[in-house]
Amino acid sequence: MSFGDPNNPYGQQQGQQPGYGYPQQQGQQPGYGYPQAPPVQQPYGAGGYPGATMEMPGGVKAARVMLWILGILQALMAVLAIVAGGWIADQMASSGELSGSDGEDVASVMTGVMVVVGIIALAFGVWAIVTAAKIRSGGNGLRISGIVYGSLVTAGSVVNLISANVFALISLVMGVLIIVFLAKSDGAAWFKRNTPQY
């Protein structure tokens, strides 16, 4: 069995252990004899440059799910408010309790109020859905949009809690969690990963 030219400094010499002449430590892998440095955590993804593949942090994923839930529920409530406005107007007109032009005016005002409330709720629902859908692409503007949305949901929930609406507690918790998850440092790194750093 031949090990190559014994005069070649780059070939493996007979009887030489791998490790290039350095004593091998207990439990150390064979190599250059130097301990390996721990892996460096890159704030902008693999490779340490913007645009690199980076996994979405768990908090951002949770905020995204909560945005989807709140947006879909608000859109459904908006459609129900618009339909309820029309139904209330029909019921008031057919009941005959309010007769003449006064009854029609009250019915028109009720319908208008319900439709306006429905349109505002639909706009908020679409805002949450669009923000949730675009979170994967990143961008600090989406982070700010999510934080502002969470703040408005939190403020609205506090007002509803004052009026003894117990269900507002759920939206209050979700609004606060959206703010916290999107404001954390790993969330900030996720949204700023495509932003050039100078």
Does residue 80 belong to any structural domain of this protein? Answer: yes
What is the count of structural domains for the chain?
1
Decide if 22 is inside a domain.
no
What pLDDT does residue 47 have? 46
Whether 9 maps to a domain, the answer reads no
Is residue 133 in a domain? yes
Q: Which of 80, 72, 189 is nearest to 125 (CA)?
A: 72
Residue 114 inside a domain? The answer is yes
Task: Name the nearest CA neighbour of 118 among 92, 158, 163, 86.
Answer: 86
Residue 23 lies in a domain: no
Question: What pLDDT, in 10s, does the model give residues 31-90?
Answer: 555 555 555 455 544 445 555 567 888 889 999 999 999 999 999 999 988 888 778 777
Q: Provide the residue range defining the domain that includes 118.
A: 58-191
Q: What is the mean pLDDT of the chain?
A: 77
Residue 101 belongs to a domain: yes
Mind listing the pLDDT tens digit for each residue in 119-153?
Answer: 999 999 999 999 999 988 878 888 999 999 999 99
